[in-house]
Amino acid sequence: MHVPVMPDEVLQYLAPKPSGIYVDCTVGAGGHARRIADKLDFAGHLVGFDKDPAALELAGRALQGVAPRVSLVGASFGRMREELSRLGLAAVDGVLADLGVSSMQLEQPERGFSFAAEGPLDMRMDPRQRLTAEQVVNQFSERELADLIFQFGEERRSRRIARAIVRSRPLRTTAQLAEVVAAASRPMNRREARLHPATRTFQALRIYVNSELQDLADWLEQLPQVLAPEGRAVVIAFHSLEDRPVKQAFQRYQREGLMRILTPHVVRPSAAAMAANPRARSAKLRAACRTRQGGPS
């Protein structure tokens, strides 16, 4: 069963109005979306975005029988403003983005996101796109791989890992890649010893293949235009590459008078929430509210 991360905190900061319009930008299996929908009445409207067709199918099932109108969009949330316009929505009352890969995707070996079970080196959230992790691993130059692993995985041993990957080609499965990376990188300290040596490399490949940081940057730029006055944005990030641009964007919009930060300090999950859902351990929630001045443009 899918367990959404920090659902109580999401509802607290999103504060859904019964007749409002809300967007779950990464709808996944519909865990957060269902809780938002349960706060809306027949005048409300819930929009869910996801690049993964399998996720949209699960979300559709989770949202059956809810009161508000539901629109599910098979597209990146980086195209939020464009897709909302297609639905005739110029402004919304709240948006939620639960970033990164979902537990549903990690638990499917055939998707290739995890080194926990052997599967093809795929990692595509949208199976219709062309680029796969296998192509990156086997076709990129050693320097390109090293730069990618360093930039998107914050892996200090990126050059050593890239060299080992190139020498071990061709690599076809997650298990093969994890073995090569583990052999090339030893933990530098006690904290790193708790992480699988391939964690950051797999993260880097996934982020690159799915253009995750570009999608996030595009989405953040659209927020002031999409949110109605007093509309709220809630973001859950799982590592610094996601959290940092969210924090910086919220701070910039506050300086410009466009948004007001609702979380002066990042909100972390409770001990009970982490026990119920281990994925929540590294979650960081931030929220901001559109100011009354101006409006969507």
Assign a CATH topology to domain 7-104+212-290: Rossmann fold (3.40.50)
What does the pLDDT read at residue 104? 76
Same CATH topology for 7-104+212-290 and 127-209?
A: no
Kindly report, residue by residue over 28-78, the tens digit of the pLDDT: 999 999 999 999 999 999 999 999 999 999 999 999 999 999 999 999 999
What does the pLDDT read at residue 190? 58
Q: Give CA–CA dist 30/292, Å, rounded.
A: 30
Q: Which residues pair with 71 in a beta bridge?
A: 47
Strand order in the sheet with 259-261: 69-73, 45-49, 21-24, 92-98, 227-237, 284-290, 259-261
Please list the ranges in the chain whose pLDDT falls under 50.
Answer: 294-297
What architecture is the 127-209 domain classified under in CATH? Orthogonal Bundle (1.10)
Q: Give CA–CA dist 198/111, Å, rounded.
A: 17
Please report the DSSP string for 150-201 in residue order.
Answer: HHHH--TTHHHHHHHHHHH----BHHHHHHHHHHH---SSHHHHTS-TTHHH
What does the pLDDT read at residue 201? 97
The predicted model scores a pTM of 0.93
The domain locations on the chain are 7-104+212-290, 127-209
Alpha-carbon dihedral sign for residues 168, 173, 174, 179: negative
What does the pLDDT read at residue 188? 61
